[in-house]
Chains A and B, each alone.
Chain A
C-alpha cells in the first residue's frame, strides 16, 4: 500500500511491540476521554505511534515515527508556538540520525545513530532540554500522551534496535554509554523537577528523570548481555520494563490532573495555587496516588521498578573491572540523590498545589474536576493499583519480552512484597485505632492556627497574610542553594542548553554572519581571494616539488 516500491508494507506484532501497545492503550483511551476525542492531529499522532510499534520493516517504522513527530509538532504548535521551533529542530535531528541508522548493517555506528535519534526523541540527557519546554505546551491530554507514550515509543525503537536488530554487533560499551546518559538524565531531571515552578514543567522534568531510569536499566541489561551475566540482564530488563509500565500510568494521570488544575484556576504556577484539596478533593486524592508513584514511595506504583534498579546496579558493581565498579557505585549515589529529589518534587507538588492556604482567589474558588478527566484519571489510577500491589504478577507477564530481548536472561522472583507490608500496616493501624478508642479523647475541634503566636490576619485577608506561607520557589530554595547553583548556575539554565544548545546557536549566528560577509564582498575582494588561493596553491605545489 504505502511501502517502498516492490517491497510493500510489513506489519508484525511480537511480545515487545505488544507490551508497548499495552502501555500505550490505557493512556490513549484516557487522553481521548479527557477531551481530545475530536482532534484530528491527535488521532494522527496515535496512528503514528501505533504504526511505529507494529512496523515489520524499517521503512514502516520511520514512516510511523515521522508521522508521530509531525502530528505532535502540530499539537505543540496549537498550544504554544515558541517551543514548537525547537521541537521541530529536535524531531528533524532525530529523523536525520534514525533514517541512515535503520538501513546500515549491524555495527557500532548504527547503534550510536539509533541512540542519538531515539534518545533525542525520548529526552535522554544531554538531548533533553527541549522536553520541559515542549511537553507542557499542548492541551493536557496530549501532554499526557507525549510524556507517557511518545517517549516510550522512542525507547521502543532504541530497544528494538539495540537488543534485537543489532544484537550481532553488541559491545559492552553500548550499555555503559546508556547507563551514563541515564544517570545524567536522572540527576538533571530530578533536580529540575524539584526546582521548576510550573506544575506541567515540573512533571515534564520528572519525565526526563524516569526516561533516565529506564535507560539505566536498558544500559545495564545491554552491558550484562554483552558480558554474559544472565541474572543481571534479567534483573535490569525487569527494572526498565516495569518502570516503563508504571510511568505510562502515573505520569498521564498527573498530566491530566495538571490540565484540570489549569481549567479550574487558570494557572499551573504553583506559586498561585494552594488549598485545592478543599475545592477539588477527588482530584487531590488521584494526584496523591500519582505523586506517590512519581516519588517511588513504597506501596506506590513507582517503588518496585526503582527497587529492582537498585538491585541491578548493586549486582553490576559486584563484578567487573575496578573502574566500572567505581562508576557503578557513583551511579548508585546518583540514583539515591535522584530518588530523594523526586520525593522532594512530589511533596512540593502536593504540598504547594493541594494543601495549605490558597495563594490566589482562583485557587480558593476552584471547583472539582469535570466528568471526562475524572473518568480518565480513575481508569489510570485503577490500572496503577495492581502495579503497586502485585508487581510480581506484572513481572511474570513481562517474562516473554525479557526472553525475546535477552534469550539467556534469568529472572529471579521479586523479593519486595507489598502485600506483606500492607498486612503489617493494617496491624499497626488496628493497634493505633484500638489505643485511640480505648484511651484517646474524642472529636476534633476547629480553631485558628497557632502560627507561632502571631495575631489573626486582618479581615480583608480572607486566607491570612499570603506572605506568611511558603511559596513553591521558597520551598525549593534550600535545594537550589546547596545543589542547584553548582549544577545549573545562579540563573538556573539547563546544562544541556548552556553547553550544547547555546554554543550551537552562537556558532550558527557566526556562520550566518560569515556567509553574509562573503555574499556582500566587492569584486576586488573576490578577485583578491581567488588570487590568494592560487598563490598559496602554487607555493604549496612548488615547495612540495622543491623539498
Chain B
C-alpha cells in the first residue's frame, strides 16, 4: 500500500517536473549554444516568457483552413504529453511503467508527427506542404531505425518495456558493448532528426526554403502556436529522458524508496544538463545538411541499428 502511494507520488512528481522543466531545458540549450558561438544569448527563462506571451495573444485561423485547424496542435501536444508521462525520468518503477512499452512510445511519437504534418497541410500553402512532405520522408527512416534498435535492447535486457530495459541495464553488468555503442549512435541520429536539431533541420531558422518543422507551424499563432512550441519542448525532454534512461541508467532512484529520490533527482538534473551541453556543442560544430542527404544520414542509423543486433547474434554464436 505504502509502496503504491509512493509510486503514485513519484509518478506525479515526474510528470510535474517534466512539464515544468521542458521550457527550461530548451532555454538552457539555446543559451549554451549562444555561448559557444561567442554570443550572450537569450536568458535561461526566455521560453517561459515566450509561451506566456503567445498564450495572451489572440489566435488567427486562416480563411483557407478547415475546422480541424485547432485540433492538430492539441493532438500533437497530447501525444507528446503522454509519451513524456510514460518515459521514466529520475526513478524506476513508476505507476506508468507497465504501459510504457517501447513500441507504444514510438507509436506516440508517430502520432505526434502525423498531427503536426496534418497541421502543415491544413492551410494549403506551399511551405506547410513542403515541410510535411519532407517530414514524411524523414519519418520513414527514423521510425524504422528506432524499431530495429528495440531488437538489440530486447536481446540484452529481455524486456521491451523502457522501464524494464533501464532496470536491466542498471542492475545487470553488461559492460561496454559494441552493440550498445552502435545503438547509441543510431538513437542519437534519430533523436536529432525527430527533435529538429541541426544536421537535419535548423531550430532557429524561421523562413528558409529548407526548413521542416518550422514550415509546418508557419500559419499558427497565439495559443495554438504556444501549444505547438510547448509540444516541441516536451519532445526534447522526452527524448533526453529516453536516451538517459536507456543509456545512462546509473543512479536512478526507485519509486518505492523515498530515501533514494533526492539522489535520483539530482543525478537526473545533472544528466539533462550534460545532454543539453552535448547537444549544443554538437549543433555548433555541424552544418545543416541538404534535405536529400538526410535519408542517407538516417539510413546509416538504420544500418547501425541492424548491426547492433547482428553483433549480438554473432556474439551469442561464438559464445563471447
Query: Footprint of B on A, CB under 8 Å?
Result: 194, 274-275, 277-278, 281, 284, 295-299, 303, 307, 310-311, 314, 317-318, 322, 325-326, 329-330, 332-333, 335-337, 339-341, 343-344, 346-348, 350-352, 354-357, 415-417, 420-421, 424-425, 427-429, 431-432, 435-436, 439-452, 463-464, 468-470, 474-479, 481-483
For A468, the chain B residues whose CB sits under 8 A away are 125-126
Q: Residue B272 at the A interface, CB < 8 A?
A: no
Contact (Cβ within 8 A) B77 A347: no
Contact (Cβ within 8 A) B309 A356: no
For A452, the chain B residues whose CB sits under 8 A away are 125-127, 207, 218
Contact (Cβ within 8 A) A335 B147: yes
Out of A194, A284, A325, A347, name the residue touching B114 (CB < 8 Å).
A347
CB distance from B156 to the nearest CB of A (A): 11
B50-90: contact bitstring with A at CB < 8 Å (1 yes, 0 no)? Answer: 00100111111111111110100010011101100110000
Q: A278-B66, A449-B64 are in contact. Are A347 and B151 (CB under 8 A)?
A: no
Q: A335-B147, A469-B129 are in contact. Are A420 and B96 (CB under 8 A)?
A: yes
Q: Residue B118 at the A interface, CB < 8 A?
A: yes
Out of B121, B145, B223, name the residue touching A441 (CB < 8 Å).
B223
The 10 closest A-B pairs by CB, nearest first: A470-B129, A356-B124, A336-B144, A351-B121, A449-B62, A336-B147, A357-B124, A428-B81, A277-B66, A478-B137
CB distance from B130 to the nearest CB of A (A): 6
In the bound complex, CA of A415 to CA of B302 (Å): 26
Q: A351-B117, A441-B56 are in contact. Are A469 and B148 (CB under 8 A)?
A: no
Q: A310-B103, A432-B227, A445-B61 are in contact. Are A464 and B121 (CB under 8 A)?
A: no
Size of B's binding interface in residues, CB under 8 A: 88
Q: Residue B101 at the A interface, CB < 8 A?
A: yes
Interface pairs (6), CB distance under 8 Å: A284-B68, A343-B139, A428-B81, A440-B56, A441-B57, A469-B126
In the bound complex, CA of A335 to CA of B143 (Å): 10
Q: A295-B114, A355-B122 are in contact. Are A336 and B151 (CB under 8 A)?
A: no
Contact (Cβ within 8 A) A297 B96: no
Q: Residue B134 at the A interface, CB < 8 A?
A: yes
For A310, the chain B residues whose CB sits under 8 A away are 103, 147, 150
Query: Footprint of A on B, CB under 8 Å?
Result: 19, 52, 55-68, 70, 74, 77-79, 81-82, 85-86, 96, 98-99, 101, 103-104, 107-108, 110-111, 113-114, 117-118, 121-130, 132-134, 136-137, 139-148, 150-151, 154-155, 160-161, 207, 218-219, 222-223, 226-227, 291-292, 295, 302, 305-306, 309-310, 313-314, 317
Contact (Cβ within 8 A) B125 A469: yes
For A478, the chain B residues whose CB sits under 8 A away are 133-134, 136-137, 291-292
Smallest Cβ-Cβ distance to B143: which chain A residue? A340
Contact (Cβ within 8 A) A351 B118: yes
Out of B122, B146, B155, name the residue touching A336 (CB < 8 Å).
B146
Out of A303, A311, A417, name the residue touching B160 (CB < 8 Å).
A311
In the bound complex, CA of A297 to CA of B130 (Å): 23
Smallest Cβ-Cβ distance to B111: which chain A residue? A297
Contact (Cβ within 8 A) A441 B59: yes
Of B19, B96, B139, B302, chain A has the most CB atoms within 10 Å of the CB of B139
Contact (Cβ within 8 A) B55 A439: yes
Smallest Cβ-Cβ distance to B223: which chain A residue? A440
Contact (Cβ within 8 A) A479 B136: yes
Contact (Cβ within 8 A) A341 B140: yes
CB distance from B153 to the nearest CB of A (A): 9
In the bound complex, CA of A12 to CA of B146 (Å): 46
CB distance from A487 to the nearest CB of B (A): 12
Q: A298-B107, A444-B70, A449-B64 are in contact. Are A329 and B140 (CB under 8 A)?
A: no
In the bound complex, CA of A452 to CA of B219 (Å): 9
For B113, the chain A residues whose CB sits under 8 A away are 343
CB distance from A490 to the nearest CB of B (A): 16
In the bound complex, CA of A236 to CA of B140 (Å): 24
Out of A341, A435, A447, A463, name the residue touching B60 (CB < 8 Å).
A447
In the bound complex, CA of A477 to CA of B132 (Å): 11
Q: A322-B313, A425-B78, A441-B222 are in contact. Are A435 and B55 (CB under 8 A)?
A: yes
In the bound complex, CA of A311 to CA of B150 (Å): 10
Q: A333-B302, A355-B68 are in contact. Are A439 and B56 (CB under 8 A)?
A: yes
In the bound complex, CA of A210 to CA of B181 (Å): 34
Contact (Cβ within 8 A) B108 A329: no
For B86, the chain A residues whose CB sits under 8 A away are 424
Contact (Cβ within 8 A) A340 B144: yes
Out of B58, B141, B148, B317, name the residue touching A332 (CB < 8 Å).
B148
Contact (Cβ within 8 A) B133 A470: yes
In the bound complex, CA of A281 to CA of B130 (Å): 25
CB distance from B246 to the nearest CB of A (A): 16
Contact (Cβ within 8 A) B122 A479: no
For B150, the chain A residues whose CB sits under 8 A away are 310, 314, 332
Out of B66, B96, B125, B305, name the residue touching A424 (CB < 8 Å).
B96
Smallest Cβ-Cβ distance to B308: which chain A residue? A329
Smallest Cβ-Cβ distance to A296: which chain B residue? B107
Q: A347-B121, A415-B161, A445-B61 are in contact. Are A450 and B219 (CB under 8 A)?
A: yes
CB distance from B308 to the nearest CB of A (A): 9
In the bound complex, CA of A474 to CA of B126 (Å): 11
Q: A346-B114, A421-B99, A470-B129 are in contact. Are A329 and B309 (CB under 8 A)?
A: yes
In the bound complex, CA of A357 to CA of B123 (Å): 7
Contact (Cβ within 8 A) A470 B140: no
Smallest Cβ-Cβ distance to B307: which chain A residue? A329
CB distance from A474 to the nearest CB of B (A): 7
Of B52, B78, B155, chain A has the most CB atoms within 10 Å of the CB of B78
In the bound complex, CA of A431 to CA of B317 (Å): 51
In the bound complex, CA of A447 to CA of B62 (Å): 5
Q: A332-B148, A332-B151, A425-B82 are in contact. Are A347 and B129 (CB under 8 A)?
A: no
CB distance from A457 to the nearest CB of B (A): 10
Of B64, B74, B114, B155, chain A has the most CB atoms within 10 Å of the CB of B64
Contact (Cβ within 8 A) B125 A451: yes
Q: A297-B110, A440-B223, A470-B121 are in contact. Are A481 and B67 (CB under 8 A)?
A: no
For B222, the chain A residues whose CB sits under 8 A away are 441
Out of B55, B99, B134, B147, name the residue touching A420 (CB < 8 Å).
B99
For B64, the chain A residues whose CB sits under 8 A away are 275, 356-357, 449, 463-464
Out of A299, A351, A431, name the residue touching B132 (CB < 8 Å).
A351
Smallest Cβ-Cβ distance to B140: which chain A residue? A340
Contact (Cβ within 8 A) B118 A337: no
Smallest Cβ-Cβ distance to B221: which chain A residue? A450
Out of A295, A311, A420, A421, name the residue touching B103 (CB < 8 Å).
A311
Contact (Cβ within 8 A) B151 A449: no
In the bound complex, CA of A299 to CA of B99 (Å): 13
Smallest Cβ-Cβ distance to A479: which chain B residue? B137
Q: A482-B137, A483-B140 are in contact. Are A355 and B118 (CB under 8 A)?
A: yes
Contact (Cβ within 8 A) A355 B147: no
For A429, the chain B residues whose CB sits under 8 A away are 74, 78
Of A348, A416, A474, A482, chain B has the most CB atoms within 10 Å of the CB of A482
Contact (Cβ within 8 A) A436 B104: no
Contact (Cβ within 8 A) A356 B123: yes
In the bound complex, CA of A459 to CA of B167 (Å): 64
For B155, the chain A residues whose CB sits under 8 A away are 317-318
Contact (Cβ within 8 A) B292 A482: yes
For A445, the chain B residues whose CB sits under 8 A away are 58-61
For B133, the chain A residues whose CB sits under 8 A away are 470, 474-478
Smallest Cβ-Cβ distance to A333: which chain B residue? B148
Of A194, A299, A428, A464, chain B has the most CB atoms within 10 Å of the CB of A428
CB distance from A106 to the nearest CB of B (A): 34
In the bound complex, CA of A403 to CA of B105 (Å): 31
